[in-house]
Amino acid sequence: MEVEETFIQRRNSYNGSLHRDSSKWAHFFITIRKYKKSIVKGFTLIAILVYVAYAISIRFGDEDSVRLLMCTVVGLLFLAWRQIIRRYPEIFKFRKSIKVLHDRRFRRIIRWILYIVVGIGAAIYTIVYSLIDHPENLVSLGGIAFFLIVTYATSTNRAKVNWHTLYWGILIQLLFGILFVSSEFGVTVMTYVSQRFSELTSYSDSGAIYVFGPRYSEFRMIFQTMPRILFFITLINVLQYLGTISFLMRTFGSFLAYCLGTKPVESFVAVTNIIMGSSEAFMSVSPYLDGISKSELFALLVCGMASAAGDALIFYKSFGAPMIHLLTASIMSAPAALVCAKMNMPEETVKKEKAENSKNDNDADMKTDTLDIRCTKMSDSRNILEALTKGAEMGTKVVTTIVISMLVYISLIEFLNMTVGWLGDRIDVNELTFEKILSYLLWPIAFIIGIPSSDCLIIGRFLGIRGFISVSLSYLQMGQFIENKKQLSSYEAKYNDTVFLSNRDIFLPMWNTTLTEGVLEDRTEVIGTFALCGFSCLPVLGMTLGIFATIAPKRLIDITEIIFRAFVISNFASLLTSCVAGKPC
């Protein structure tokens, strides 16, 4: 009996210890399962850091090693930013706890000190480094004044213009122009960035060779440029899923909103449009569109049409436009668009306007007023494979649209030229074309942005095609002049021979080749690239109306009232950017 009881006690003790052990292991595996993503990410981060440290210890100092270190530092900063946002969102509200920052008198004093100091510094730099050595820059300076005056004169309410936005917007543009166009350091940085950008998109050539064969480059438009755009859009969608794109957009958007005193929605769209395009920018803020004021809606339209996104820049570059100028123009157009929009249609009685636009949309108003552009969701993909698939699908639609549009636009411009020429022949006006009419009509605009008078007719033609037909077609024609300059430089380097000039045509006798309409001056190429960079042309208005009819049907009436004004002002913003780019040349 005692033996049996002892056996039972030992068995129960064993079962109890076994149960305790199994409970511990179960708890351990549950914990592992709960934190498996964090554990995998942690080990991955450690492995990457070990690899970077080992790679740098082996070889450091060349461009590749510096690039590796820079990417690692940027990646660590990005990860730190994400953790801070998730764990300590209240850290960005620290300014509210500093009472002195809420004192109006203190803020007014600081504001005026900055106005005076920064304004005097910019004026001195402009006079000493830009106007004395290059007096022709006075024309571009006059162009800045002209476009600002016209924008202000046609304002819906001049008394409500926020001069703080104007002042800092123009100064930011000037600083960007000085940094990225005239300073050696800025040009070096932008050249490096543009080279890496071109290198990134060129990886699609491997896929093009596999799909289309080694002779794919003979059909550059459809078999080389389009795959690059498709690859870029897919990559952007993946980076959007990972949070990298949102980090860049929200950081720069917060900077613009803080400096210019603009609303979060319009600042966010101004920056989003640089990378993703106007359609995606509008859709990313669609929950807030019913609650924003008419002025904010106008700013969204202007920002959407005043700058070009990354896929468009790849397309423009395929025609020969320098990527360094395209990238710089796209960045500089963000503050320019906000300045022109807030000058031409400033905020008036915001509360009253919101009440009229959304009487039953109090939730939309609340969302708009409390919007934090650091916390806006940018991707609805559940994993990286879904992001890849959606990116490829989106890229296919974009590529199809581009190809069809170019076919239609080139055919349309030929039809218009032949029609106008036929009408001219009826009254004995020879060689009259639609493009020639545009050249003469827009000659003054080309001149006031700083284009040399010898090239004003050419750039006037490009500006007309950009506004009435297609931005892509204007770059296509400008690309011919860039190609002419490359051929002329190659010819002069190879032969010490005379070339013959007839009107603008240049004849190269050793090659028996004529460069039709000659070449453009270097200054013309820079300013022209900036002036044409954007998305503002008449066909885009219909597309924009279609987008808003889908994502914000309640605001369609407001859109139809202001969209043509936005079209004109967005062109002013692009031209203002070109004036700023021309002044530091």
pLDDT band, residue 377 (cuts 50/70/90): low
> Which tokens hold the place of 372?
């934090």
Rounded to an integer, what distance in angstroms lies between the CA atom of residue 120 and that of residue 114? 10
pLDDT score for 351: 45
Whether the predicted pLDDT of 378 surpasses 60: no
pLDDT band, residue 101 (cuts 50/70/90): low
Q: What is the mean pLDDT of the chain?
A: 78
pLDDT score for 364: 42
Over the stretch 303-333, which tens digit does the pLDDT of each residue have? Answer: 888 888 767 787 788 778 888 888 888 888 8
Over the stretch 473-497, which tens digit does the pLDDT of each residue have? Answer: 888 888 888 888 888 888 888 887 7
Cα–Cα nearest to 436, from 413, 452, 453: 413
DSSP letters for 359-398: TT-HHHHHHHHT--TTS------SSHHHHHHHHHHHHHHH
Over the stretch 147-204, which tens digit does the pLDDT of each residue have? Answer: 999 999 999 888 888 888 888 888 888 888 777 777 777 778 777 877 777 787 788 8
DSSP letters for 323-373: HHHHHHHHHHHHHHHHHHHHHHS---SHHHHHHHH-TT-HHHHHHHHT--T
pLDDT score for 227: 81
pLDDT score for 567: 92
Whole-prediction pTM value?
Answer: 0.77
Category of 308 on φ-ψ map: left (φ > 0), alpha (ψ -120 to 50) or beta: beta
